[in-house]
Amino acid sequence: MVKWLLAWRYFRRRPISILAVAAVALCVFIVIVVMTIMNGLVRDFKQKNHDYAGDCVVDSDSLVGFGYYEAFLETLNRQPYIQAVSPAAKGVGLLSQPGSEWNIGIEIYGVDPVLHSRATGFGRTLHYHKDAPAEAFRPSYAPETDGCVVGIDMMAPRRQSDGGYYHAPQPFLMELTVSIFPLNARGGLLRAGTDMVSTKTFYYSDDSHSGLVKVDGAVVYVPLAQAQMLCGMDSPLRRVSAIHIRFREGTSAAAGTAKVRALWGEHCRQYEKEPGGDLLAGVRVQSWQENRRSIIAPMEKEQTMMTLLFLMLGVITVFIVFVVLYMIISHKSKDIGILKSIGTPVAEILWVFLLFSVFIGLIGSLLGSVAGWVFLAKINALEDWLFEHYQWQLWDRTVYAIGDIPNHVEPDVLAAVVGAAVVSCMVGALIPGLQAARRKPAQSLQVNQL
């Protein structure tokens, strides 16, 4: 108890302690704000990729795709741990408008909108048909025609400076022509001569806003059968490029993927001798994390680098506490000498100064945490005010695919930051405390030291 009282007395009566507390509070404030925003951005980005891919993906990088998928779909639908499956066909081509010289390179993605909405988050990305994905490919102005869903960033400029997207009350009339070179099962052109390109006109029916820049700026969704026809996957062997799978609640992505991988191995052995069965060898069965790894990994590395850079702020805290303790000890030689002369052990004196540093760490962390929490709670309102009055945003919403700035403080991050701050303070106090504790009473009580 005496150690606590003495440490508190030193802390309360030394104005220089305020400097150490302010340094700790500032470091904690900065780390909490940066870590919360960065963790939130990474978490949201991962969730968007999860929604895009589903829990598991059976796919091939080849534009040819793979066949005999209908039998595998039946096998998957019989499994009790699988909730939904969705076949998809993809290809690359050009998108243009009749009577216009405008055209862009795109990725065609053929899906069944109902099945794809069950296996992935596709339905939630739609604007006009969010509650009725079955109607996604049916333009409201021409229900009898073939519609398409375009990535929201393709029909630029749609995004406004405040981050929102402009939408008319109903989809507007727009004809979009898709042109693709269809491939046969061997990867060669399906047709030769003047008829080598497959072309079809679709009508704009909806937008898809997945929140993924490369997807929203390049993908056009069309009915699965139409994509298979355009890409040459409809004959003689019907093929797809991917199968998206969602597991039932309680089945982890890793466990479910392992089971699907085993089923796929049996499926390959059954059909590998059939015509086109060699395409099955190039198919991968991956969890959504594995499938989207090349997209997620760069952002995770940025998060790691940012974390390391801001953890270096702890080094500043160590040095500040070291200087503060050194100055206090140099003015407390008499007290130290008296404690040593009455037989106080070295460990007891060391603990006095360690407790002093704990007070600095705890109070500084408390102030920094409260300031960080208040700042994060108001950060979006503050950014809105700055944009309204000065046209300034932390992230330009016309460039970055984010909405509100993440501001949810995670308890484990907060606990880790506070714990690291207290430990840093104790490390900074360790050397001055040891020097004070190991002084001999005669040295501390010298006249020139009093």
Q: Per the domain annotation, does 293 fall within a domain? A: no
Boundary (domain end) residue, out of 257, 282, 307: 282
Q: How confident is the model at residue 447 (pLDDT cuts 50, 70, 90)?
A: very low
Query: What local confidence, expressed as pLDDT, does residue 10 receive?
Result: 58
Average pLDDT for the chain: 82
17-53 and 346-390 are packed helices; what angle lies between their axes, rounded to 10 degrees?
60
Residues 275 and 307 in one domain: no
Burial class for 19, CB neighbours closer than 10 Å (0-12, 13-18, 19+): middle
Count Cβ atoms below 10 Å from residue 92 Cβ, excluding itself.
13
Query: What local confidence, expressed as pLDDT, does residue 244 receive?
Result: 97
Query: What local confidence, expressed as pLDDT, does residue 424 receive?
Result: 81
Residues 42 and 115 in one domain: no
Strand partners, 96: 103, 177
Query: What local confidence, expressed as pLDDT, does residue 62 receive?
Result: 85
Residues 37 and 131 in one domain: no
50: which residues sit within 8 A by CB, 6+ positions away?
Answer: 121, 288, 292
Q: What is the pLDDT of residues 173-191, one digit of tens each?
A: 889 999 888 877 776 676 6
Residues 264 and 385 in one domain: no
Query: What local confidence, expressed as pLDDT, does residue 184 receive?
Result: 72
Boundary (domain end) residue, out of 237, 257, 282: 282
Q: Per the domain annotation, does 185 fall within a domain? A: yes
Region of residue 99 (phi > 0: left; psi between -120 and 50: alpha; otherwise: beta): left
Q: Per the domain annotation, does 373 fall within a domain? A: yes
Burial class for 100, CB neighbours closer than 10 Å (0-12, 13-18, 19+): exposed
Residues 241 and 303 in one domain: no
Q: Per the domain annotation, does 289 fall within a domain? A: no
- Nearest-CA neighbor of 58 among 227, 322, 246, 330? 246
Q: What is the pLDDT of residues 207-231, one digit of tens each?
A: 999 988 889 889 999 999 999 999 8
Residues 235 and 108 in one domain: yes
Q: How confident is the model at residue 4 (pLDDT cuts 50, 70, 90)?
A: low
- Nearest-CA neighbor of 252 among 296, 291, 287, 284? 287
Say if residues 206 and 213 touch (Cβ distance below 8 Å).
no
Residues 206 and 303 in one domain: no
Say if residues 221 and 109 touch (Cβ distance below 8 Å).
yes
Domain extent for 330: 2-46+299-449
Residues 113 and 171 in one domain: yes
Query: What local confidence, expressed as pLDDT, does residue 243 receive?
Result: 96
Share of the chain above pLDDT 90, in %: 35
- Nearest-CA neighbor of 136 among 116, 120, 166? 116
Give the span between the Cα atoms of 185 and 136, in whole angstroms. 30
Q: What is the pLDDT of residues 11-67, one digit of tens each?
A: 666 666 787 788 888 888 988 988 888 888 888 899 999 999 999 999 998 888 999
Give the Å distances, CA to CA, from 430 to 20, 343, 347, 436.
15, 21, 11, 10
Q: What is the pLDDT of residues 142-161, one digit of tens each?
A: 888 889 999 988 865 566 66
DSSP string, 247-268: EPTT--HHHHHHHHHHHHHHHH
Q: Per the domain annotation, does 53 fall within a domain? A: no
Q: What is the largest CA-CA distance in the chain?
A: 106
pLDDT of 323 over the 80 cut = no
Q: Per the domain annotation, does 397 fall within a domain? A: yes
Phi, psi for 182 (deg, rounded to 5): -70, 145
Query: In this structure, are strands 242-247 and 239-240 parallel, antiparallel, or unpaired?
Result: unpaired
Q: Per the domain annotation, does 294 fall within a domain? A: no
pLDDT of 381 over the 70 cut = yes
Query: What local confidence, expressed as pLDDT, does residue 187 receive?
Result: 66
Kindly give the residue spans of alpha helices, DSSP state H, lying in 272-332.
288-291, 293-311, 313-330
CA 249 to chain centre: 22
pLDDT of 448 over the 50 cut = no
Residues 268 and 304 in one domain: no
Residues 31 and 123 in one domain: no
Residues 309 and 248 in one domain: no
Residues 85 and 210 in one domain: yes
Q: Give how many domains the chain has, as a whole number.
A: 2
